[in-house]
Amino acid sequence: MIHPHRHSWLLTVFIIILFFLITWPIWQWLWGEWLGNDYYSHGLLIPFVAVFLAVRRWQLHTTQTAQPVLPTTHEQLFVWLRGLWLLISTIAYLCLLYYKAYYLAGFAMIGMIGGIVWVLGRQALLGLWLFPIGYLLLMVPIPLIERITYPLAIFAGLCGGGLVRLFGMDLTIVGNAVTLPNAELVIGAQCSGINSLMALTALMVLAAYLVEGPRWARLSLIIAAVPLAILGNILRIASLIFVARNYGADAAFTFYHDYSGFLFFVSILLLMIPMTRLLQIKTLRLDVI
């Protein structure tokens, strides 16, 4: 005779294995995007962060309550809703996968994860893991991002060029081409700053979840990621133009170009420290870490 508790664990393991078998094509696609798409290279870390947060939330919850998560009377009235959510998200996933709409299928897959947690763990566990599940949305590449790289690159080039002009540097900007007395530069899509913008947004969403503070302050922290990432990219392009003018295009685009992105990204992160103080965010949430 199988013990009921063991039976529930066997069912859980079976559903998890079935889930990964069904969603394996999307995980393969995501892996290729994370390794081949510079704009979403940070996506590789997001599942690990989500799992860590889910485990910590579960450990802290079980330590504080010393009892398993039990269904509530109110929740039992809506048992059908949990199954309906899982059914709809699964059907949507299979249809999107069939039509090779991989990024939409990725979002549907995350909906399936929420549905599975809701069905197996009830409302209390879904509430406990709501952020870790939602955080997975940031790991899915969106085609729209690639479409705005060129306009952002031109904008950053114009702003960066205008900035160095304030210091008396002579240059001409036509579209994404920058002409210096000693060199000609092209501001390509890789200079749009999208990779920094996406990574910084993911970090700020995580930071806003991990800190204590007013809701408006934590929301401001996330919103600030966009202008700060754009500002950091403008300053980086201005510095590239400066290096190219004084040391030549080879020096600017062989060594400096590869490492300046990381340096300016770290600088923007350091700017977030005084910003948290300004927004009255001073402590970490003890119920998360």
CA atoms 99, 104, 106, 110: torsion sign:
negative
Assigned token pair, 151: 């306009």
Determine the pLDDT at residue 52. 94
Determine the pLDDT at residue 70. 47
Q: CB–CB of 179/171 below 8 Å? A: yes
- 154-159-165-167 Cα dihedral, nearest 10 degrees: -140
- Closest alpha carbon to 181 in 195, 197, 170, 165: 170
Determine the pLDDT at residue 127. 87
Positions of the chain with pLDDT under 50: 1-4, 66, 68-70
Determine the pLDDT at residue 65. 54
Determine the pLDDT at residue 5. 53
